[in-house]
Chains A and B, each alone.
Chain A
């Protein structure tokens, strides 16, 4: 019984490893997805962070030499070249006279606030202007013999409960989705090839004519697809670990680091998901009439785990999601990333429901392989 499963598993893996399409499907995702994520993050970071030297358009800079000097000392300058951001700071005509009288001297900051690329630069400029204004305000009070502390009636000490891990967790939450999905993608081609493909090549009937049970066949195929899925995940994790090291997270003020603990947990937690993914993909492929048909069915079916996973990533309906397959595990993983306690009960229950689905589908497949309709497409 076990010997034959092992024989079949070995054959399936040998066969799959030689199938360029199956291997490449896994490889493309495992290598491509983390790199794409990294590229996306790098782009994002470069867009949300203000450049070291911020070049804006300061109109009438001659009206406020000290302010311009102050901004320059904060690396905010006005140079007419291509690096200039679309931010205009205009100094009013009566700036100096109002300031001399102790009246508010007016500046106009004009920029498109909806432009995400500008936001951090706008905030930085506003912050610099506030700093300058606050400093002048304090010095004006000192010049009048008043302690600037009197205009600071309240001092708020902020204690941010976020840890270095939990800050990176926001990012990793999205990345986790991509990693879990590797389980579905990596084994998919093999699942189709070994079911719909096997039937299409007429080897299914031959296999069934040998003294093996349908249970052995299904389990061997499940095992093969699961192994592929897990290898895909492992590769995705390894590539991610390496690739994320090159993303300049520090510019966001926190780091994203795939720890060995996280990788280990990810692998353990994903095993039931991989089993379910294998069962689901094999089941659907067996139901399909051809390789092509199986592909199109699976594309539709895989939307479901993707939705579950996304729902967990973006924390939609967390109460329901925590018990469901995929989303439950995702939530546990995100909790771990954020340095919180892993919700064990929830993780066990969602893993159990995942396995239950996997076994139900496996059982269904065993039955269906005894059906003439499925085997011969009659």
Chain B
């Protein structure tokens, strides 16, 4: 479970987060929806302890990120945007590396990497260097890295950005899978359909604040709109920065 409470953060002249509070439950896919510049990435970075909030706090499975960053992060897997691959390593090495960083022994890491490579159907590319990978291959590698140590919580920052249809479908399947297994999945997106298709809960953000929370249906009901898109525009007051 991921819980943020009253997060505020100023970056430069911009109030990136403004008394932000929400929680994402285990066994659910939670979407963090907002236009560009709404504070989604800042929020996620704060959850990882990479940014320090001016006020408020973030908890992972009840662990305060600011107080026990290592323990908190052990419960987290991050699918970052951009991916941050090491191009001179192979996916297998890359995945093992992060598995070991998360406390797995060499042997465990090896097994875990093999397992996740299998799961993501990456065996054909597992021992090629990442340099020259397609966006889909990169996505898989980054995703494998995020889930190799089987964290309870998985955070994805704009996971479908730049993906083709096939890759997007693969990703969706995996996320559903993770949900089935009881993981807490939190992802940020500005793509409406994706959120509508996947999420059990949507948190709509604008200007660093939560403007609405609920399932896609609930949001439609709440705004009286037929589509989530319309509901969203209604909620944030503009259609700027939203992709259909």
Contacts and interface: CB of A to CB of B under 8 A. Distances in A.
B243 interface: no
A306 to B, nearest CB: 30
Contacts of B102: 210-211
B93 A14 contact: yes
Contacts of B103: 4, 211
A201 B84 contact: yes
Interface size, B (range):
20 to 34
B173 to A, nearest CB: 23
B70 A206 contact: no
Contacts of B88: 14-15, 18-19
Interface stretch (B73-81, B180-188, B221-229): B73-81
Interface string B133-165: 000000000000100000000000000000000
A372 B52 contact: yes
A74 interface: no
A7 B104 CA distance: 11
Contacts of B78: 206, 209-210
Main secondary structure of the interface of A (DSSP, over half): helix
B17 to A, nearest CB: 13
Contacts of B85: 201, 203
A210 B100 CA distance: 10
A19 B129 CA distance: 12
A8 B98 CA distance: 9
A209 B73 contact: yes
A261 to B, nearest CB: 38
Given A15-B89, A19-B88, A206-B78, A212 B101 contact: yes
Interface string A28-66: 000000000000000000000000000000000000000
A114 to B, nearest CB: 55
A11 B109 CA distance: 14
Nearest to B79: A206
Contacts of A4: 100-101, 103
A3 interface: yes
B82 A202 contact: yes
B132 to A, nearest CB: 14
A375 interface: yes
A4 B99 CA distance: 10
Contacts of A14: 88-89, 93
Contacts of A209: 48, 50, 73, 76, 78, 80
Given A14-B93, A209-B76, A211-B73, A7 B84 contact: no
A375 B69 CA distance: 16
A208 B50 contact: yes
Interface centre among A8, A11, A202 (most CB of B within 10 A): A11
A303 interface: no
Interface string A200-234: 01111111111111000000000000000000000
Interface string A1-31: 0011001100100110011000000000000
A15 B86 CA distance: 8
Contacts of B83: 202, 206
Nearest to A193: B88
A212 B78 CA distance: 14
B84 A202 contact: yes
A187 B123 CA distance: 35
A8 B93 CA distance: 12
B177 interface: no
Nearest to A210: B101
A143 interface: no
Contacts of B89: 11, 14-15, 18
Contact of A202 (B48, B74, B80, B98): B80
Contacts of A203: 84-86
A3 B78 CA distance: 21
A219 to B, nearest CB: 14
Contacts of A156: none
A206 B84 contact: yes
Report the 5 A-B pairs with minimum CB-CB distance, sorted nearest first.
A203-B84, A206-B84, A18-B88, A211-B73, A202-B84
12 contacts: A7-B101, A11-B86, A18-B89, A202-B84, A205-B45, A205-B80, A208-B48, A210-B98, A211-B69, A211-B73, A376-B51, A378-B11
